[in-house]
Amino acid sequence: MNKRREQIQETEETHPALHIEEEDIDLSDLKWDDTLVMVIFWVLAFVVFLQFFTRYVLNDSLGWTEEIARFLLIAVTFTGSVMAVRKSAHIAVEFLYRWVPRPLRRVAQTLIDLISITFYGSLAYLSGQLAGRTRQMMVSIDVPKSVVYWFVAACFVAMTVYAIRNAWLHLRTGTSKLIDPEQHEDAVRAMD
């Protein structure tokens, strides 16, 4: 460890623009329901590695890996979106909030919460409609494609539930990341 610190210090002295800070990895914001996205991600990583290995090393590609990787990527995307909604980590235009008075920021946050709940709920309904109408089977394995769409619908339902929870927290605490960036974390920790 000391050798690593010496290398960092030497790099900082010779190249001040390449200042390197060591930070500990903080996994304290992960919850039990985040394990699903991690499991799907690692299964996806394994399938992609298997696809690469069989195609470029063995020169005999497994045909099913491409389709399964595509559907696993969809699963990682929507499961990760559930995690992002839970953490209120989706992108937002924070710059405008700095110039708006606090009461208007609260009104804007309430509107954003209502739009988000409506959006996620509508997409859950539409995804369920699409899943119910899909009769195709996957090409490489004997599983209906509707399974993927039902999974997406379930993710949108979870996003809707978390959006409702976030809206409730915003109303109850009177703050959010956009209203009071510094005070929001403390208010959420006090609620959990």
Neighbours of 8 (CB within 10 A): 15
pLDDT at 12 (0 to 100): 59
pLDDT of residue 162: 96
Residue ranges of domains in the chain: 2-191
Q: Which residues of 39-57 are buried (b: 16+ CB within 10 A; e: fewer)?
A: ebbeebeebbebbeeeeee
Whether residue 127 contacts residue 149, with contact meaning beta carbons closer than 8 Å, is answered with yes
Q: How confident is the model at residue 91 (pLDDT cuts 50, 70, 90)?
A: confident
The model's pLDDT over 129-152, given as tens digits with 9 standing for 90+, comes to 999 999 999 888 889 999 999 999
pLDDT digits (tens, 9 = 90+) for 39-81: 999 999 999 999 999 988 888 888 888 899 999 999 999 999 9
CA torsion through residues 90, 91, 95, 100, sign: negative
Query: According to the model, what pLDDT value does residue 169 have?
Result: 92
Q: Which of 184, 162, 185 is nearest to 174 (CA)?
A: 184
Q: What is the pLDDT of residue 97?
A: 73
Alpha carbons 125 and 127: distance in angstroms, whole number: 6
> Mean pLDDT highest for which of 58-62, 92-96, 115-119?
115-119
CA distance 188 to 183: 9
Structure letter (DSSP) for residue 99: T
| Residue, of 181 and 36, whose pLDDT is higher | 36
Q: Identify the pLDDT of residue 102.
A: 85
CB 97 within 8 A of CB 62: no
